[in-house]
Amino acid sequence: MTRFIVLGLLVVVLWLALKNFTLQVKMAFGQNPGRREPPSPRAMAETLVRCARCGTYVVASRALKAKGDGEEAFCSEGCRGAGAA
Q: How far apart are CA 54 and CA 63, in angstroms?
A: 13
Q: Closest Cα to residue 49, out of 59, 36, 34? A: 59
pLDDT tens digits, one per residue of 57-80: 988 888 888 776 667 889 888 888
- The answer to whether residues 30 and 49 belong to one domain is no
* 74: helix, strand or coil: strand
Q: Is residue 25 domain-shared with residue 2, that is, in the same domain?
A: yes
Q: Is the pTM higher than 0.75?
A: no
Domain match, 25 and 44 both = no
Q: What is the dihedral of CA 20, 25, 30, 36, to 10 degrees?
A: -30
Per-residue pLDDT tens over the stretch 14-55: 999 999 888 888 877 776 666 666 766 766 677 888 998 999
Domains identified in the chain, total number: 2
**Do residues 16 and 31 both lie within one domain?**
yes
